[in-house]
Amino acid sequence: MRIVFMGTPEFAIPSLKALIGRHEVVGVFCQPDKPVGRHQNKLQPPPVKLCAQEHDIPVYQPEKLRDGAALAVLKELDPELIVVAAYGRILPDDILALPPKGCINVHSSLLPKYRGSAPINWAILKGEAETGVTIMHMASQLDAGDIILQRSTSIDPEENAETLYGRLAELGGELLLKVVAQIQAGTAPCTPQNGEQATLAPMLSKALSPIDWTKPAQAVHNQIRGLYPWPSASTDVITGDTVKLHRSCLPGTAASAHPGTIVAAGKAGIDIACGDGTVLRILELQPPGKKKMTAAAYLAGHPIKV
């Protein structure tokens, strides 16, 4: 089947690779190269662009999708199907209507839960025990199209957003192959979403980083896991300056101290009292201007008075 693929970050690569060699991927759309470096004077291509170039697939990086230029390119490519995976752009109606077999999206949640740009992070932030991948027909409304197939997976209590991201990316590629085969055969199921059950997963920002220690230890643990590796949970109770927290655990220890009080600091980590009367143990942190390190390594050079 003639397919145009649209995706930008690492998450999309397993889906693109699943199609290459099994279908005719006639073009790849991704977002423009981004400036990086201290002076923003170097351009870094997105991961999907590099993958497409390795397989000699033409790459297109339009700044806009609504000025007609992208539509003209797509008409020349003449795809039967458009596959989208974390492209980062909303497709206008004229593009959605172009391919005869439609446009489908690989979304990293069990829709209708967690529609939006950061479903993996919000599933962890909200303490979900399960998430998954949904492949759906695309509609004008964000992530609201009819569901074709879903596959679920459990979230480990210690798993962070980075590791879950990788697992769901692979799961998405596996499920996509099955869905494309069904679309080609005309047997793909189509289940409308229940909009009343929809929840949102908005874009992340640094405003989510500061920890409120009056919250239960589990909620703080979820915050650290869900915001790793960016924007990272942060606190000023350890040094007085803002420190990023990268890994934690729940030792199950009771604490009668005021929330935010350091109650223990040693080789096991830094224990901080939370609002539910239990302790959260910090295992890895990153002081300002320093690299990530274990709490034990930090304490070796910066003893903390409990």
Nearest to 143 by CA among 96, 91, 191, 107: 107
The mean pLDDT value for 144-150 works out to: 97
Question: Are residues 143 and 111 in contact, defined by beta-carbon separation less than 8 angstroms?
Answer: yes
Token code pair at residue 94: 């004229």
Contacts of 13 (CB under 8 A, 6+ apart): 7, 47, 48, 51, 169
pLDDT given for residue 304 in this prediction:
87
Give the containing element (helix H, strand E) for 42: strand 42-44
Closest CA to 209 of 234, 185, 184, 226: 234
Whether residue 114 contacts residue 198, with contact meaning beta carbons closer than 8 Å, is answered with no
229-235: average pLDDT: 98
152: its two tokens: 């679920």
Contact partners, residue 200, CB within 8 Å, separation at least 6: 114, 115, 116
For residue 17, give the amino acid letter. Answer: K
The count of C-alpha atoms lying within 13 angstroms of the C-alpha of 81, restricted to the half-sphere facing its C-beta, is: 23
Residue 248: closest CA among 302, 294, 299, 215:
294
85 alpha-carbon distance from chain centroid = 11
Confidence class of residue 269 from pLDDT cuts 50, 70 and 90? very high
Is pLDDT at 40 greater than 80 in this prediction? no
**pLDDT recorded at residue 37:** 73
Compute the distance between CA of residue 97 and CA of residue 76 in angstroms, rounded to an integer: 15
DSSP structural state of residue 210: B
Give yes or no for a contact between 86 and 12, defined as CB atoms under 8 angstroms apart: yes
Both tokens of 118, joined, read 């950061």
38 pLDDT more than 80: no
pLDDT in tens, 116-129: 999 999 999 999 99
**CA pseudo-torsion sign 161, 162, 166, 167:** negative
Are 101 and 185 in contact, with CB atoms under 8 Å apart?
Answer: no
CA dihedral defined by 258, 260, 265, 269, rounded to 10 degrees? 130
**Secondary-structure percent of the chain, ordered helix, strand, coil, rounded to 5:** 30, 25, 45
130 within 8 A of 152, measured Cβ to Cβ: yes
pLDDT class of 50 with cuts at 50, 70, 90: very high
Residue 32 has pLDDT above 90, yes or no: yes
Please give the DSSP secondary-structure letter assigned to residue 86: S
Per the prediction, the chain carries an average pLDDT of: 96
User: Residue 77: left if φ>0, alpha if ψ -120 to 50, beta else—which one?
Assistant: alpha
pTM as predicted? 0.95
